[in-house]
Structure 1
């Protein structure tokens, strides 16, 4: 009799497990919408994308065209193609809609089969002063996510505005960073991939300051040359010693997080030696070293940092699709200095006066944390 009961219980458990599996298969994926300008996309934007992705199954990122941004906010720093290139590389984005209107409507979300939209606490305002999410809020299709403290495009603009020639100095200047790096944040952003036997490992080192379309396209090409891409992000002292002025605009921790956000990047080395050594190549199991085609900036009488991989025949230069540099971005800012100073002041004023109208969903730091 006990054996019959045990068999019956086992059968019941199996039926329940099969039923649960069928329910999971039948469950409709939750599609989350997160739109933005994604101008000078940084790790604060990426952290919002990460949080939004955790709220559902599929993250659809809507990017506003320049025409919409100019109407409601002012001309963006980066053009449509440059902004899209960086957004496409983000590891948390599943789909992209390139004609996202500034006013997020219920009809537009339904058109793209969106369950709800998410946004940070820095809510966008239409040119007539209305909240651009007022319609979806009223429909109960809006969730507010935690803003990343210590970083904003406005703050980066402030740092770049101080980069005019009158501000160049060995000690730097401009606005300091209020972002506090933590191991938790690095873990949230880091890839879980590892080097496996037989993998071709590619190494790319650089400053990667203000991660832009030129950097992203270069890293995409680098990843295509192998199975595992390691990116070395040079430390602040190494970059500043060679570039001078207030370079780098973003500090080491900020630049590392920017690199970790890219789906092409498998591992990041924080502040590696500027000159590649045989020990580095051996410890990282590097098969190929790549760099871009921009001119190297070296100290007086400094030897070529890439001498060793060149001698070993494992060196290759890659031409990015985008002829863009951090210096060119700064030149754009200086050219439109008055416009961006006004935009920066308005943004700071809005941040001070803005009242929160929704409950912020806390940022899950680690679901497996003890």
Structure 2
């Protein structure tokens, strides 16, 4: 969508129905309403058009005032094997953009079915600099430079041409990113079922207390930055398989802040005029910063082969969301006072938001410090509350036969008995780790 947006002043995105996709391509992973939400949350999309025909016709695009249809350089065929864009091509109203390199839905489904971890990135910063990764030194540097350019491209504004989001990387030790020693939360002090008191947060590798670290923030991309009067708010997470659950949460955070700003008079005529006079443009009251956890951190807590998307892929997904103003790669799983007070926007954020987490049960409160600093706010449950990485993987596994057929139709190898045994073993290991963590073993 980024390349398409760069070709014009507005971008309308047609979204096929579940039935049309099933007939022409195979089963969908996300429902129509979930896919509509994803499109409408993309900063480069002007609007989503639901139930767009699988074969694009001239009357359809003319009805919406579209001059051109844009698509990648791969061929898309209908159930009869004919080109879906044959009519607009014949009329000279078709534009081709190079397919964005990276992953596809087919790749993600394959990772879920085969339960692989080869997509993990141990250190994004070292991958971007060419210090780590497959291939020789020259190849690694070329790959790293291309990845950094992708991040810069995705950090653009709604035009796809000008700077938009700030992008940071947080330097800290591995133990500090996994789990930090902070003041014990109520959950940590509560006796376990065995009668003993669970251990306070410790290093996942050494079981020794982790000393709090300030870490260092390294800026990867310059964006617009914070404008006068904006409230800096912080959210964090894995953002794996970025979906409607994440989007709806971010929308609620933004709307909550906007309601607060309205009460403060942000939208009055006088306030709007003052902002325009000072900066040359009007802007919203929220500057939303999203922390993104490392692959190894997520895998430590969720197990199996989560995250399904690596930190680079997850970062791109978060960057394209219109509610986001900045991201921090490598953010800590458990917030500490040192981290919050040294955020690169003048210290502690105005607020820290989080939602209800059921997919990843914890034995302690990773937001205890934010609560002690009176920064914490929780977003209520919403209609897409349960749409997360676990739910999406569950959908794939329940419809395994259909998705295997989809993979075979695309030339992919179906899941094997060995892969299924591997998944069962990893699930068993994760359940054991959760029990051990619950009882402080």
Normalised to the residue count of structure 1, the TM-score between the two structures is 0.74
Corresponding residue number in structure 2 for 1:326: 389
SS of the equivalent of 2:410 reads helix
Q: Does 2:36 correspond to 1:84?
A: yes
Corresponding residue number in structure 2 for 1:210: 241
For the residues of structure 1 that align with 2:40 and 2:366, how far apart are their CA atoms?
Answer: 31
For the residues of structure 1 that align with 2:17 and 2:35, how far apart are their CA atoms?
Answer: 10
Contact preservation (8 Å) 1:207, 1:234: yes
For the residues of structure 2 that align with 1:81 and 1:307, how far apart are their CA atoms?
Answer: 35
For the residues of structure 2 that align with 1:176 and 1:309, how far apart are their CA atoms?
Answer: 29
Corresponding residue number in structure 2 for 1:304: 365
The correspondence for 1:273, drawn from 332, 350, 356, is 332
Corresponding residue number in structure 2 for 1:219: 250
Q: Does 2:113 correspond to 1:50?
A: no
For the residues of structure 2 that align with 1:344 and 1:308, how far apart are their CA atoms?
Answer: 45
For the residues of structure 1 that align with 2:351 and 2:301, how far apart are their CA atoms?
Answer: 25
Corresponding residue number in structure 2 for 1:103: 55
Measured against aligned partners, the alpha-carbon deviations of 1:27-82 in whole angstroms (never above 9, x if no partner) come to xxxxxxxxxxxxxxxxxxxxxx0000111111110111112212212231111111
Corresponding residue number in structure 2 for 1:262: 321
Runs of 4 or more off by more than 4 Å in structure 1? 174-181
Corresponding residue number in structure 2 for 1:125: 77
Q: 5 Å matches for 1:165-244?
A: 173=117, 182-190=147-155, 191=165, 192-226=223-257, 227-244=286-303
The offset of 1:265, in angstroms, is 0.6
SS of the equivalent of 1:85 reads helix
The offset of 1:303, in angstroms, is 4.2
Q: Does 2:379 correspond to 1:313?
A: no
Closer, same or farther: CA 276–187 of 1 in aligned 2, 3 Å = same
For the residues of structure 1 that align with 2:228 and 2:339, how far apart are their CA atoms?
Answer: 18
SS of the equivalent of 2:369 reads helix
The correspondence for 1:74, drawn from 15, 18, 26, is 26
Contact preservation (8 Å) 2:69, 2:93: yes
Contact preservation (8 Å) 1:202, 1:223: no
The offset of 1:198, in angstroms, is 2.8
Closer, same or farther: CA 292–312 of 1 in aligned 2, 3 Å = same
Contact preservation (8 Å) 1:158, 1:174: no
For the residues of structure 1 that align with 2:340 and 2:256, how far apart are their CA atoms?
Answer: 17
Closer, same or farther: CA 196–280 of 1 in aligned 2, 3 Å = farther
For the residues of structure 2 that align with 1:173 and 1:92, how far apart are their CA atoms?
Answer: 31
Structure 2 unmatched runs, 5+: 122-133, 135-142, 156-164, 166-222, 258-285, 413-441
For the residues of structure 2 that align with 1:129 and 1:270, how far apart are their CA atoms?
Answer: 43
The offset of 1:332, in angstroms, is 0.8
Corresponding residue number in structure 2 for 1:14: none
Normalised to the residue count of structure 2, the TM-score between the two structures is 0.63
For the residues of structure 1 that align with 2:147 and 2:110, how far apart are their CA atoms?
Answer: 24
For the residues of structure 1 that align with 2:102 and 2:120, how far apart are their CA atoms?
Answer: 10
- Aligned residues between the structures: 291
The correspondence for 1:146, drawn from 98, 106, 130, is 98
The offset of 1:275, in angstroms, is 1.7
